[in-house]
Every structure is written in structure tokens, then in C-alpha cells.
Chains A and B, each alone.
Chain A
């Protein structure tokens, strides 16, 4: 067998959510055949973490999961040392999840020291700040297809276009709003009165961040079947550097208009449009989709 690119999956301050999300990837066999896993927290790999921690190996691709705390000890080695060593040997560094990308949930464990590997929220900071090797796959957790795509692009020597936050454009140029089944309610400004219905838009009251969150959740469905907004949960904006925000089930409003308006739209235009849209009464959208589900 010809030598395969060496892949190392290293974890910082994490819940293992990205690891488990990736286990849902339908083409794991392809990944295991194409790459040599030097270490992975669960999948079959060549070495133990203890061996990896001795920094005697080198890798081609470094996947980092979890927030970065330089002081953290992993199997007896300091995280700063591990990341420096493997980061210098790797051609590509993939931050998987929002913790690794921006600090995410676990930056809150110790905000002074903990960051992502290349960003601290939206500011470039960390061991791979401004590195052209860095690809951020933000999200809490990552969608398995996002990482599958990235790895296959690398295996095929294809160029991955990235945005200013180092996220692949083919995945993050979209908004979570795109493809949401509630789009018509958004267009005509029909709110979901409360949770637990298929009808109504969650942007006006329930805290949905879909119109300002870069993610393809409603294009590449979760677990191949659904997404948060499709089952009536608001998008929490988990792919963005400011995740997690507070009061995530509520929309902050000013004079009953959402304080944050859809991405790239001027507030004034949005207010005008909302006023017009709200002036229509559309009985079809005020009724239940299916009257009587027995």
C-alpha cells in the first residue's frame, strides 16, 4: 500500500462532541483507507496518546478538537508543546468545532487563557493565528459532512477557498436560514406564537439566529434528516465566533423589531420591509398547515 497522509486528531478542552458527530459520517471506511490515523480518541489508530505525547512522530494533517489552553497537560505533555510540534510538521491544520475555531463554549472555563487555535472569538490569536495552513470548521458540533468534505478535498489536492474567518466558503457562504422550511413565514413576518409548532418563524421571538449565521445546516441536513429550525428549535448561531451568547431562546427586540437584523441588510430597509410585510394579512399563513393531525 502506498503511504497515506498521516492524520493526527488531538484534543484540547472538549466534550468530544465533534468526535462523536464525525462517527456519524457515512463514509468512514473511505477516510480510514485514505489516511493513516496516528491517533484518534475512538477510531482505530497507529499510536496511543501517550506515544503521541512524546512528540517523536510527525503528521501531515493536524485535526484539533476543543478549546486551546496552552497550560493543559495531555498524557504528561504540555499542550503548547504538542501543538507547536505537530503544528510545525503538518501541511494543514483543521480546527474542528467552535471551541477549536474561536474558543467557543469552553473559553468560558478560563477566559483569560483559553482561545481557539487561530482565533480568540473574532480576533486572530493563538498558536496558528494568521497561519495559511489553518482551516476552521466552526459549529457546535461540526457536521460530519463538513469534515468529510475538507478531508476529501485535501486527499484530492483541490484548493479549499476560505473566508476571513478561515472557514471553507463552500460550506459557510450559506446562512443557516437558507433552506429553512419556515422561510415563507420569515418573508411575510409571521411569528411562531410559541414553541412546538411547524408553523411560524422563530426569528422574531424565539431567538433564531438563522438569518445571520454562516452555516449550511438547512442545506446539508443533520444526521441526513433534519435541522434545528426544521424541528422548531431556534438556530443558536453556533458556527459564529460569539457562540455561546446569552438568552438563547429569546430574540432581543427594539420596539418589537429584532435588535439584530439579517446579515448585510440595513436596519432601516429592514424596518421598512417589515412594516410593509406586516401590513398584509395572509389567512393561509395564520392557519395551521394541517388542521387536524390525528
Chain B
């Protein structure tokens, strides 16, 4: 039996065609029906305009696109033998605002998508006020971000050579106050224990002390048997370089270095429906990217423990994203303290951008995983711009013989509903996928 379903609330929609046999999902074809042709829009524009255009790829992770774009342009400078110097201060501020974008994303997803979906599956009521907690927490994170970036969404404050802002201690203290408020909210509403205690967790046993909404969500994941399904390839990839994530892949418990030259794109498998998505592969294999991949690669004890019990199930995937929010809150605190205000925010590149010709690549860890921008410039003008977004890895639509990571995770689900939840556990972004 074939069942076609629109999956919404994923930054747009996807059309999924489920094959349902003997009470189980035997295959699913995923189609993303809209595209905006961002790569074509970028063509022939001055390189700096990419810093205004690329954030508009996505309303929820535009800041990650900005960071990728600036890294891509800076990489052109480096490849031309004129590397751009960046102060530690600018690096820390960039890293901080990216981290805050990840936090807002994870908390919105948890409260506005995951919690309501689980409630719906268990036929339990969830108050609107509870869902709005996610928006409130996210707005605190973006407030801190805006102190440095001017606004969120759609800031363009990262430029080759640094950042445009020039904060003072007044800004830092304001940011620290807001971060403190966000952490207190996180402790009170989500975990019921201190953030310090939570990020120091090493075994599943101690999860018993967690109260708050996280305990409810964890319990709902168990009741819906999410720890028994949603297994994917158990292959993880993180390509962006940050203090919170090292570029690596993890396959069969083996870590290895990664290089962008092994990344390829292929046409998505489709039966009769037009899709604008392209599959992303590493060394011709599908990989899972995002918080589960990052925490597995980083060897985060809490997630490793969950993995030991429930492998790469939907349960572990959801818990990894939620837990990453806690780790990133802790990381933000450190980053804020590390900003050296006496350093320059911006160091003017020696070479004029209008004279720049060459290739460059910029990779960051976005909320959903590895995001790649690659650019070819000719005399400062964009000759070619290519984007590979995290959902292209996770939601690759492969054939029944070799399904993509999310497809593989959905196969075997006992209902369309649970398969859909597993789909959501990857935190799908439709607008990014087809860009």
C-alpha cells in the first residue's frame, strides 16, 4: 500500500510517499517541491553581496549561512596567497553568535515541534503556553546574538577580516545578564537541576534526577518506543571546524579526518514527483550529520551512554539535539568571558576584494549539521556559488537498495505516525535543502 503524506512544520513542506507492507514501512520516497534558485541569484554579484544574500537562504539558520559565506570568501583570499588576518576577538564573537543560533534552533524545535508531536501521538494535551516557552527561550538567545550582530534573523555583520561590531564592556555585561537569564530558564523549565550538573552527566542512571520538561519529553519518547526504532547507518560526519566540533567522521567506532574533496552530490531518487533536492554523499556513502553526529564524534559521555543502550535510535537523536543545547549554553558562557575587547574587531584585508580571483570553500556546523559554501570569484565577482546544506545529507533520497539516512531510519516503523516522527527527529529544513 502506498500512502502519500505532506509533512509540514519543517521550514516548508516535504511530500513523503510511504510504502506500507505487513504493518511496517518498507520504503519512503522524499520530495521537496519548492526551490528559489539561490545559487543562480548569487551569480554575477559582487562577492560581498553574498553576505547579504546567503543569510536569506533560511529564516532559522541564516546566521550559519553568513558564517559559511565569510569563510568561503576568506578561503579565496588564502588560496590567492593573500590570507586574511582575523583577531581572536572576532573569532570568538563569530563563534558566539553561531552558537546562539544553534541554541535558538534546538529550543524552538523541542518545544514547537517535538513536544507537541509526542503529545499528539500519546493523545495528551499540551497548552499553547507550553509551546511558546520555546519561542521565549529562543528570543533570549537571539537578543544576545543581536547585541553583536545587530539583529536576528538576517544579519550581515561578519565580513572578510572580522566583524563590523565594536562592543564595549556595557555590551558584554548586557549579554552576560541575558545569558544568565536564559540559563536560569533552562534550569527551571527544562531540566530542574543546574546546568553544571547536567553537562557533567556521565551515565544514564543520573538522568533520574532531571525533572522539568526534559524528563517529560524523555518519558514520552520511551512511551512511544522511540528507543526501539529509527536506526540509521550509525555513520557520522561533522565537517565544520569550531571549538565545539572537530571536523571528523565516525564509522564503526573509528574516527578519521575529513576533506571536502570527497563530498559529492547526486540526483535524488524519485518515482513520479518532482524534487529539487540533491543528495549529499561523503566518499560515495550516506552519512548522518547534526547534533547526534557532533556529540558522538566529540565523545560526549551522556550521549555515548544513551547510544550504548539505544544506539542511533530516534530517542538518542532527539536527546542528542536537546543535550547539545545545554552544552552550547555552557560554551556560550565561556566564549563571552573570552572576548578580548582591546583587540581589533576588523583587520582590513591587504588585497582589494575587487581584484580577487580564485576558488574558496567555507564550512560551518549549522544547527542541523555540516553546511558547505563554495565559491569561484573572478575579479571580485561571483562566477559560481554552490551550497550544500545539512538536510541534504540527512534527507538524501536514495533508492530502495541504498536508502538515505532518514529513509533508512524510517524503514521498519510500525506506523506512518512514528515514521513521521523519526523524520522530524532529524530536524528537517525544507528551505535549506533545495535553496
- Chain A interfacial positions (CB closer than 8 Å to B): 11, 13-21, 23-26, 28-29, 32, 41-44, 48-50, 72-75, 105-106, 108-110, 140-141, 194-198, 217, 222-233, 236, 238, 244, 246-250, 290, 292-294
Q: Interface-forming stretch among B153-161, B328-336, B391-399?
A: B153-161
Which 4 pairs between the two chains have the least Cβ-Cβ distance?
A196-B346, A16-B59, A196-B345, A222-B151
- The verdict on A232 contacting B174 (CB below 8 Å), with A15-B431, A16-B59, A75-B13 known, is no
Interface string of B126-163 (1 = CB under 8 A from A): 00110110010011001101111111111111010111
- The verdict on A223 contacting B139 (CB below 8 Å), with A16-B431, A48-B8 known, is yes
Q: Interface-forming stretch among B17-25, B45-53, B286-294, B298-306?
A: B45-53
Among A140, A223, A232, A294, the residue within 8 A (CB) of B145 is A223
Measured CA separation A14–B46 after assembly (Å): 23
- The verdict on A248 contacting B146 (CB below 8 Å), with A223-B151, A232-B166 known, is no
Please indicate the chain B residues that have their CB under 8 angstroms from the CB of A246 in the complex: 45-46, 49
> Would you call B364 an interface residue if the criterion is a C-beta within 8 Å of the partner chain's C-beta atoms?
no
The answer to whether A32 and B128 touch across the interface, beta carbons within 8 angstroms, is yes
Among A42, A229, A231, A293, the residue within 8 A (CB) of B341 is A293
Please indicate the chain A residues that have their CB under 8 angstroms from the CB of B169 in the complex: 293
The answer to whether B165 and A232 touch across the interface, beta carbons within 8 angstroms, is yes
Q: Interface-forming stretch among B34-42, B194-202, B371-379, B406-414?
A: B34-42
Please indicate the chain B residues that have their CB under 8 angstroms from the CB of A195 in the complex: 159, 161-162, 164, 345-346, 348
**Total residue contacts A-B, CB cutoff 8 A:** 192
Please indicate the chain A residues that have their CB under 8 angstroms from the CB of B345 in the complex: 195-197, 232
Output the least CB separation between A89 and chain B (Å): 22
The answer to whether A26 and B139 touch across the interface, beta carbons within 8 angstroms, is yes
- The verdict on A20 contacting B163 (CB below 8 Å), with A28-B132, A222-B151, A236-B156 known, is no
Output the least CB separation between B192 and chain A (Å): 23
* Residue total for B at the interface (Cβ-Cβ under 8 A): 69
- The verdict on A222 contacting B146 (CB below 8 Å), with A16-B11, A28-B135 known, is yes
Closest residue on chain A to residue B45 by CB atoms: A246
Measured CA separation A255–B138 after assembly (Å): 47
Please indicate the chain A residues that have their CB under 8 angstroms from the CB of B151 in the complex: 217, 222-223, 226-228
Residues of A contacting B: mostly: loop
The answer to whether B163 and A14 touch across the interface, beta carbons within 8 angstroms, is no
Measured CA separation A110–B348 after assembly (Å): 36
Measured CA separation A75–B12 after assembly (Å): 10
Among B13, B147, B431, the residue within 8 A (CB) of A226 is B147
Please indicate the chain B residues that have their CB under 8 angstroms from the CB of A244 in the complex: 49, 52-53
Closest residue on chain B to residue A50 by CB atoms: B6
Among B51, B147, B166, B431, the residue within 8 A (CB) of A196 is B166
Among A49, A141, A225, the residue within 8 A (CB) of B6 is A49
> Would you call B168 an interface residue if the criterion is a C-beta within 8 Å of the partner chain's C-beta atoms?
yes
Please indicate the chain A residues that have their CB under 8 angstroms from the CB of B150 in the complex: 222, 226-231, 233
